[in-house]
Amino acid sequence: MNGTKYTHEELVARARERANEENLHSFQVERRRLYLVKSRKLRPGTYHMVRVHRSGQVTCDCPGWERWTVCAHQQTVVKRLEREAARREWYREQYLQADLPSEEPERDDTDHLRAA
Ligand SMILES: [Zn+2]
Give the model's pLDDT for residue 54.
95
Instruction: Tell me how far the alpha carbon of residue 14 lies from the centroid of ligand 1, in angstroms.
Output: 13
pTM of the model: 0.75
Mean pLDDT throughout 107-115?
57
Spacing, Cα 67 to ligand 1 middle (Å)? 10
H helices, E strands: number in the chain = 3, 4
Percentage of residues in the chain with pLDDT exceeding 70? 80
Q: What is the pLDDT of residues 7-57, one digit of tens each?
A: 999 999 999 999 999 999 999 999 999 999 998 776 778 899 999 999 999
CB 105, CB 46: distance < 8 Å: no
Domain boundaries, the chain: 8-113
Per-residue pLDDT band at 107 (split at 50, 70, 90): low
Which pLDDT does position 47 carry in this prediction?
Answer: 94
